[in-house]
Amino acid sequence: MRAFWLLVTVPLVVAGYLAVRMSSERGELRHHEVQGLLDGRLADVRVRASQAFGAIERELDGALAEAPAGADELRALARRLPIARQVFRLDASGRLTFPVGGPEASRAELEFLERTASIWTGRAILAGDSASDAPSRSGEAQRRPTGEPAGPEDPQAPRARTGEDVTAGRVHSAAGVGDSLVDLAARKPHGWLTWYWAEGVHLLFWRRAPDRGVIGVELERIGVLSRIVGALPTSSLDEGRMELVDSRGQTVHQWGPLRGASSGPSSGDAELAAATLALDAPLDAWQLRYYISPRQRAALADELDLAPLFGIGALALALIGLAVYVYREYTRRLRDAAARVGFVTRVSHELRTPLTNIRLYAELLEDAALDDEDQSQRARVIVGESERLGRLIDNVLAFARHQKGALASRAQRVDVDAVVRDTVAKFGPALDARAIEVKLDLHAPPANANADAIDQIVGNLMSNVERYAANGGEVTVATRAVNGHVIVSVADCGPGVPARDRDTIFEPFKRSATALTDSRGTGIGLAIARELARASGGELALVDSDRGARFELTLPAYGGDLWTS
């Protein structure tokens, strides 16, 4: 039975292990796939932002194309551009010609000059050079947005940088040249300049002017943000939630069905974004974030993972189904057997009373017919047969007791040879009747066992000889001592046990196939015999033999290892 369960559980465990491994490997793979999917969705959104920003760039480029030099024209130009905060103008030598301080300047222009002073005074700033020769202004915010990868600059270095140069990685090579906006403009027609100030990232767009100077515009940060946000979706069919986060880590706009922790003003950090993507330079301080619930992530990951799990699940189900079927069949047969045993046990008890009477009266008859040899002989047969019937009933009852777990065996010193001799003697008449010659070869020392058990075991073996090996004409019953054990062997010259039945003959109700036609046995004799042998601390086995069947009963010798062969 244990083997059966092993047969079921081992494949299940193996299949389960494989499933888990496969699942975790696929999970890993799937994780990457999901990540790719999420990143892809963010990238789709980023395209919108980039297009909106591209439109701003084209607008500015067009509006600045004329590049007037007069203050009034430049002011009028700024008024025409909705997202312009301030227009500025450099001449060919890189000198700022507008706006300039003085009584002509408006408050906004003066503020612009103060705000951007570090750009106009330090040439090194544009090149992203070290902080040594850059003016450090106390009013300027030093912090970088969290989450933004540190740029090539020293964090203490000036915050201004030319977006494209930094991304192109030419910063350091350019640093030695002592770059300036006009120098930059000599190399390319327009570009962006970003720097951080109190409110976050600031953007300057500049363009090469026809007079080899530069015209530029500082953008209203909020205006740019608004244009970008306006290009983003307001709803999404995808699960989860996307957010645009500004350089201060503040959610600017969010959409998608997932209601998250960040619906409040300050709880945004409670969740971890499933994917993040910075906007293209120069807006790379702004990030797109994608939040999905763990359940949604799992659902995404499971979409394709179900196939192998289904396979393994089906295998497991099949195995379990088979196991259940086999187990039910097995228990059904056990129940049948138990029912048979119960019936036989009841019948056996019922049989005992009349059998005792038959035997009693047969013995009386035998005593009374002492002088009549014929009658005495017949009475003896009745007595022998009733004794045999008694043994059969004993067997059945012993088996029933065993089924109840009550096959107790009280071991004590037993003269094995005497018990064997008595038992064989009881079979004398029956064996004589079948012309079976009994050869006794008894050399056993006392064993530590139960005499009744030995009697029943040997009786069962002799009974088998009588029943199945009659045509052999001979049975040898021998005892000997081997390595502290007593061995009783019963060897007949009958047809023997077919090879295929050798394993099963000790099981209850398994009679050898050749015996199927023979209905005389109860089918429990050998099973009882072996159980009794084991209960006595011994063993009963069928051993190989040249001819016929040879059973050997091994019993512990009395006094144990005193005896050696």
Pick the binder of another protein from 108, 186, 339, 425 (CB under 8 A). 108
Pick the binder of another protein from 28, 61, 199, 350 (CB under 8 A). 199
The rounded distance, in Å, linking the Cα atoms of 256 and 278 is 19
Binding of another protein by 46 (CB under 8 A): no
Pick the binder of another protein from 222, 318, 370, 425 (CB under 8 A). 222
Pick the binder of another protein from 221, 297, 359, 485 (CB under 8 A). 221
Binding of another protein by 229 (CB under 8 A): yes
Pick the binder of another protein from 139, 176, 265, 294 (CB under 8 A). 265
Binding of another protein by 546 (CB under 8 A): no
The rounded distance, in Å, linking the Cα atoms of 328 and 326 is 5
- Total residues interacting with another protein, rule: CB under 8 A: 37
In three-state secondary structure terms, 250 is: coil
The rounded distance, in Å, linking the Cα atoms of 372 and 374 is 6
Closest to another protein by CB, 218 or 492: 218
Pick the binder of another protein from 185, 225, 285, 515 (CB under 8 A). 225
Q: Provide the minimum distance between the beta carbon of 230 and another protein in the complex, in angstroms, as a whole number.
A: 4
Q: Provide the minimum distance between the beta carbon of 317 and another protein in the complex, in angstroms, as a whole number.
A: 45
| Residues in Cβ contact with 276 at an 8 Å cutoff, skipping those fewer than 6 apart | 42, 147, 287, 288, 289, 290
Pick the binder of another protein from 50, 250, 403, 514 (CB under 8 A). 250
Q: Provide the minimum distance between the beta carbon of 82 and another protein in the complex, in angstroms, as a whole number.
A: 4
Closest to another protein by CB, 12 or 141: 141
Q: Are 245 and 252 in contact (CB under 8 A)?
A: yes
Closest to another protein by CB, 30 or 221: 221
Q: Provide the minimum distance between the beta carbon of 264 and another protein in the complex, in angstroms, as a whole number.
A: 6
Binding of another protein by 68 (CB under 8 A): no
Binding of another protein by 139 (CB under 8 A): no
Amino acid (one-letter) located at 263: S
Q: Are 415 and 446 in contact (CB under 8 A)?
A: yes
Q: Provide the minimum distance between the beta carbon of 209 and another protein in the complex, in angstroms, as a whole number.
A: 21
Binding of another protein by 104 (CB under 8 A): yes
Pick the binder of another protein from 34, 42, 56, 81 (CB under 8 A). 81
Helix (H) or strand (E) holding 298: helix 294-368
The count of other CB atoms within 10 Å of the CB of residue 1 is 8
Pick the binder of another protein from 252, 315, 418, 440 (CB under 8 A). 252
Pick the binder of another protein from 30, 75, 89, 208 (CB under 8 A). 75
Pick the binder of another protein from 118, 180, 247, 254 (CB under 8 A). 254
Locate all alpha helices (DSSP H) within 140-216, ordered by sequence. 163-167, 171-175, 181-187
Pick the binder of another protein from 34, 38, 83, 400 (CB under 8 A). 83
Tokens representing 408?
């107790």
Pick the binder of another protein from 23, 130, 251, 296 (CB under 8 A). 251
Q: Are 428 and 460 in contact (CB under 8 A)?
A: no
**190-197 and 161-162 as β-strands: parallel, antiparallel, unpaired?**
antiparallel
Binding of another protein by 375 (CB under 8 A): no
Cβ-count burial 3-32 (b if 16+ within 10 Å, e if not): eeeeebeeebeebeeebeeebeebbeebee
Q: What share of the chain is helix, strand, coil (3-state, %, to 5)?
A: 50, 15, 30
The rounded distance, in Å, linking the Cα atoms of 548 and 539 is 20
| Residues in Cβ contact with 400 at an 8 Å cutoff, skipping those fewer than 6 apart | 341, 342, 344, 345, 348
Binding of another protein by 71 (CB under 8 A): yes
Site string for another protein, 144-183 (x = CB under 8 A): ----------------------------------------
Taking CB atoms within 8 Å and a gap of at least 24, the contacts of 204-207 are 204/88, 204/116, 204/119, 205/57, 205/60, 205/61, 205/64, 206/181, 207/60, 207/61, 207/64, 207/65, 207/67
Q: Provide the minimum distance between the beta carbon of 159 and another protein in the complex, in angstroms, as a whole number.
A: 20
Binding of another protein by 412 (CB under 8 A): no
Contact residues: another protein, CB under 8 A: 71-72, 75, 79, 81-83, 102-109, 199, 220-223, 225-226, 229-230, 234-235, 246, 250-255, 259, 263-265
